[in-house]
């Protein structure tokens, strides 16, 4: 597998949130990554991790990471161990994230690091159930796809994090970039 900057950021974001928040299981991790990516997109027009999120019943899910947790790629497996631990008298389990290496900030911008620190601080002691409500707020990206458009399990476009005027500007920039690239050919 080709190790990209985004992939390195994903692995290190997992390490960061696991080390800097309590109760960081699968659901909470997914919420933190979602907030990181969508908040960063709102500011800069790009995500941090490159993950795509889908509108599942319990909220936004990065399905690529969801699937990978069952059988991690070599780079993820060498950095993180995912263990299922029993909870509630053994009737259910929770994912426990164990770091095998230390967090490495080298590929993150100052803005990305500040945003991760802010999210870890804000949600440090929150449990997954507390965070589900935050991702289900009315008129937020998950709500627009899951409830308003009734597109269960569909992709949540990053552009939904923008106000309509901001989205128009981003779309115009994309069109201009494509035109500039086409003119170079």
Structure tokens at 128: 């997954």
Structure tokens at 115: 């945003």
Distance (Å, whole) CA 101 – CA 76: 10
Distance (Å, whole) CA 59 – CA 64: 15
Give me the percent of the chain exceeding a pLDDT of 90: 69
At 37, the pLDDT band (50, 70, 90 cuts) reads very high
User: Residue 96: which of 46, 21, 182 has the closest Cα?
Assistant: 21
At 174, the pLDDT band (50, 70, 90 cuts) reads low
pLDDT digits (tens, 9 = 90+) for 66-84: 999 999 999 999 999 999 8
**Domain that residue 61 falls in:** 5-184
Distance (Å, whole) CA 33 – CA 154: 18
Distance (Å, whole) CA 111 – CA 179: 30
Q: Within 10 Å of residue 180's Cβ, how many Cβ atoms?
A: 9
Number of domains in the chain: 1
Q: Within 10 Å of residue 65's Cβ, how many Cβ atoms?
A: 20
pLDDT digits (tens, 9 = 90+) for 98-135: 999 999 999 999 999 999 999 999 999 999 888 888 88
Q: What is the pLDDT of residue 146?
A: 96
Q: What angle do CA 49, 7, 11 make, to 5 degrees?
A: 85
Is residue 66 within 8 A of residue 82, CB to CB? The reply is: no
At 88, the pLDDT band (50, 70, 90 cuts) reads low
pLDDT digits (tens, 9 = 90+) for 127-165: 988 888 888 888 899 999 999 999 999 999 999 998 755
Distance (Å, whole) CA 42 – CA 162: 6
Q: What is the pLDDT of residue 168?
A: 59
Is residue 53 within 8 A of residue 60, CB to CB? The reply is: yes
């Amino acid at each position: 597998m080709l190790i990209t900057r985004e992939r390195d950021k994903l692995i290190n974001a997992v390490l960061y949130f696991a080390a800097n928040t309590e109760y960081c299981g699968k659901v909470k991790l997914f919420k933190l990554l979602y907030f990181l990516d969508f908040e960063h997109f709102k500011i800069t027009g790009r995500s941090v991790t490159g993950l795509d999120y889908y509108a599942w019943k319990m909220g936004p899910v990065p399905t690529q990471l969801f699937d990978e947790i069952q059988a991690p790629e070599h780079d993820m497996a060498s950095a993180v161990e995912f263990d299922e631990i029993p909870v509630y008298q053994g009737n259910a389990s929770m994912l426990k994230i164990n770091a095998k290496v230390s967090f490495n900030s080298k590929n993150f911008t100052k803005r990305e690091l500040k945003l991760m620190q802010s999210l870890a601080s804000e949600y440090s002691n929150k449990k997954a159930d507390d965070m589900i409500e935050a991702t289900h707020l009315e008129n937020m990206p998950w709500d627009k796809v899951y409830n308003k458009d009734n597109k269960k399990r569909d992709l949540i476009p990053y552009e939904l994090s923008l106000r309509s005027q901001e989205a128009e500007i981003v779309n115009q920039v994309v069109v201009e970039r494509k035109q500039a690239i086409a003119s170079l050919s």
